[in-house]
Amino acid sequence: MRLSKSAKSILGVITGLVLLFIYAPLLLVVVNSFNSDKTFGWPPKGFTLEWWGRAFESEGVRSALVTSLWVAVVSTIISLVLGTLLALALQRYRFFGREAVNLLVILPIALPGIVTGIALNNMFTTILGVPLSMWTVVIAHATFCMVTVFNNVIARLRRVNSRLEEASADLGAGVFTTFRLVTFPQLRSALLAGGLLAFALSFDEIIVTTFTIGAGDTTLPIWILQNLFRPNQAPVVNVVAVVLIVVSIVPIYLAQRLSEDSVGVRRPAKVAA
Amino acid sequence: MSLNTQQPGTAADPGTRPGTAAVPRARKNSFSALLNRTPRLRLAALLTAPAGWLVLVYIAALAALLITALWTVDTFTGKVSTTWTFANVIQVLTDPVYQIITLRTIWIALAVTIIDAVIAVPIAFFIAKVATAHWQKILVIAVLMPLWASYLVKAYAWRNVLASGGLLEWMGAPLGVASPGYSETAVILTLAYIWLPYMILPIHAGFEKVPNSLLEASSDLGAKPLKTMRLVMLPILVPSIIAGTIFTFSLSLGDYITAQIVGGTTQMLGTVVYANVGAANNLPFASAVSLVPIVIIMVYLFVVRRTGALNNL
């Protein structure tokens, strides 16, 4: 199919406009975090660093940041372990129910967050009688973060030659020695990429978090939601939103750089592969 | 895989000094040897923790949700009472208030899906088939990055865009276009914005699967670009487009945060679920409401299953 020059440039312009449409609202938040006018009308009236200073001094923001980091780190560690085990099991073995397990790992992100959220909330509070806390958030996050690690590790395992492992075993290495010296080094960057994605996913998750967090705890997204409708907090909310954008996009960028086959949780073309 | 279990793996383990801690090593190796001899046991060791976690945490929670929808709340104590009843489900299905909210939610999800499909097809086509290899890489990352920016921040960004005196009003003023303010239209716009990358990526992957030789053959045989698009590309693309709609549709169906942030008084199914978990403290009713999007998504998945879209997810 040969497109005329003008057809190509029209498509190019559309693509440019769509990208502008994708990035403009995010840039607006960044600009507004430096906007000296508290009503945030457009165009901005002046430049200030006051809101950034205030955000750093805010006790609420700081403790929410610590909570978010803690939840994201613990969930990432759990997902790394569970996701790797699952990927090894599904890639190296054929067994009854393998397809079902494959579907099972995708389910927590395929269903809307509200379903996952209320299902877990209901199980903790009504069925088990467990008080909601940071640990219930970690359990919820690990459940849907597992898939990012799983996807990255299984994509890597597909390309790694399993004969190396057999050779290692034939040379007398035990199962754990083979994993430590042969399998793990080949997985390292896939694990890092999957872990970064899991971290980013957990760090800014809001829906499942609102349903599973205890009354006294606040993550950064929860903090935003609580302060969103308070006009005098608006400037600080902008700053926190910028922090969320940066903390979620930088790990993604790194993960992309780390492994060519880095697979996003919802990078749809590859999720169910 | 053959293995001589009599020789511990010191040869492949240069870090271990021979002779150190002989007893624990021997014990560890016998377990390792047992794993080596029995692949079933190895599989069980790998699978138990993650599959157990997913079943115990997630499948159990979904099953419990279904059961809770059939329970009720004691009006005096406010506690969930395990009396079996279909009252919640019946109320959700027959009360006009919930019927309207269900229809509105479906309408919003449909509108979002259509808008995203219309925007995504040309841009995905440009990235996959027109842009040079160098630009392709950059454009894919440019589309992918904001996919990962917080959902909450994106909704919040649109609250800024739509604010009175905000960017959209400023842009619309010379054209005589008014900003929709915080309304149902705003919810559709914002959700279309948030889920757009989920539509672009599978369609882009679909375009990449169309071989260029096929397009050249079509044009050599005299088809104009639009005809090639309709007769050659579209049939190959349908599963990818449907894969994209699964995301935009099902994700919009469960939304409540966007409705809360830019929707003004707009109520969606998610809003009702959230209100019944929090303020109204009626988990059985919230569970019953949440079954509506689950059933709709299941039906949708069932309908599109035959198109092969599920393999494109």
- Predicted confidence pLDDT, tens digits, chain B (313 residues): 333 433 443 344 444 444 444 444 445 567 777 777 788 888 888 888 988 999 888 999 999 888 888 887 776 776 777 778 888 888 888 889 999 999 999 999 999 999 999 999 889 988 888 888 888 888 888 887 777 777 888 888 888 888 877 778 777 777 777 778 888 999 999 999 998 988 888 898 888 888 888 888 888 888 887 888 888 888 888 888 888 888 888 889 888 889 989 988 888 998 888 888 876 678 888 889 988 988 888 888 788 777 766 655 5
Assess B78–A contact: CB distance below 8 Å, yes or no: no
A24, pLDDT greater than 50: yes
Contact check, Cβ <8 Å, A110/B250: yes
Among all residues of chain A, which has the CA nearest to that of B78? A126
Assess A256–B contact: CB distance below 8 Å, yes or no: yes
Category of A201 on φ-ψ map: left (φ > 0), alpha (ψ -120 to 50) or beta: alpha
**A-contacting residues in B 160-179 (Cβ below 8 Å):** 160-161, 163, 165-167, 169-170
Contact check, Cβ <8 Å, B150/A221: yes
Give A137→chain B minimum CA distance, Å: 12
Contact check, Cβ <8 Å, A266/B169: no
Decide: A177 and B8 in contact? Cβ < 8 Å: no
Peptide bond into B239 cis (omega under 30): no
Nearest to B149 among A26, A114, A118 (CB): A26
Residue B23 pLDDT: 42
The model's pTM is 0.79
How many whole angstroms separate alpha carbon A231 and alpha carbon B131? 45
Q: Is residue A107 classed as helix, strand or coil in its secondary structure?
A: helix
| Nearest alpha carbon to residue A241 among A11, A28, A47 | A28
Residues 6+ apart with CB under 8 A from B77: none
The secondary structure of residue A130, as a DSSP letter, is P
Assess B126–A contact: CB distance below 8 Å, yes or no: yes
How many whole angstroms separate alpha carbon A175 and alpha carbon A95? 20
Decide: A30 and A245 in contact? Cβ < 8 Å: yes
- Provide the ipTM: 0.79
For residue B152, how many other CB atoms are within 10 A of its CB?
Answer: 25
Residues 6+ apart with CB under 8 A from A192: A255, A258, A259
Contact residues, chain B, for A223 at CB < 8 Å: none
What residue segments make up the domains of chain A, in order of their start? 61-271
Count of residues making up chain A: 273
* String of DSSP letters for A7-23: HHHHHHHHHHHHHHHHH
R_g over Cα of chain A:
22
Assess A185–B contact: CB distance below 8 Å, yes or no: no
Contact check, Cβ <8 Å, B9/A171: yes
- Strand B80-81 to strand B72-73: parallel, antiparallel, or no bridges (unpaired)? antiparallel
Q: Residue B73: phi, psi to the nearest 5?
A: -110, 130
In whole angstroms, how far apart are CA A171 and each of B17, B62, B109? 18, 47, 58
| Structural domains of chain B, with CATH | 1-37 (no CATH), 89-312 (1.10.3720.10)
Residues 6+ apart with CB under 8 A from A249: A200, B145, B146, B148, B149
- Residue B118, classified by CB atoms within 10 Å of its CB into exposed (0-12), middle (13-18) or buried (19+), is exposed
Rounded to an integer, the average pLDDT of A63-78 is 94
Q: Which residue has the tokens 């990526």?
A: B201
Among all residues of chain A, which has the CA nearest to that of B26? A174
Select, from the ranges A107-116, A232-241, B119-128, B231-240, the one with the highest average predicted confidence (pLDDT). B119-128
Decide: A153 and A187 in contact? Cβ < 8 Å: yes
Contact check, Cβ <8 Å, A268/B9: no
Assess A266–B contact: CB distance below 8 Å, yes or no: yes
Residues facing B73 on adjacent strands: B80
Residues A192-220: pLDDT tens digits?
Answer: 888 988 998 898 888 899 999 988 889 98
How many whole angstroms separate alpha carbon A142 and alpha carbon A66? 18
- Domain range A61-271, CATH class: mainly alpha
Contact check, Cβ <8 Å, A81/B247: no
Rounded to an integer, the average pLDDT of A29-41 is 78
Among all residues of chain A, which has the CA nearest to that of B251? A112
Give A213→chain B minimum CA distance, Å: 12
Contact check, Cβ <8 Å, B254/A28: no
Report the b/e string of A3-31 with b at 16+ CB within 10 A.
Answer: beeeeeeebeeebeebeeebeebbebbbb
Assess A248–B contact: CB distance below 8 Å, yes or no: yes
Contact check, Cβ <8 Å, A210/B274: yes
Residues A37-61: pLDDT tens digits?
Answer: 776 666 777 778 888 888 888 888 8
Assess A210–B contact: CB distance below 8 Å, yes or no: yes
Task: Mutate one of B31, B137, B150, B169 to test the A interface: name it (highest A CB count within 10 A).
Answer: B150
For residue A9, how far is the Cα from the chain centroid? 35
Assess B159–A contact: CB distance below 8 Å, yes or no: yes
- The residue type found at B60 is A
CA angle in degrees (0–180, nearest 5) for B126-B129-B133: 100
Residues A137-176: pLDDT tens digits?
Answer: 999 999 989 988 998 898 888 888 778 888 888 888 888 8
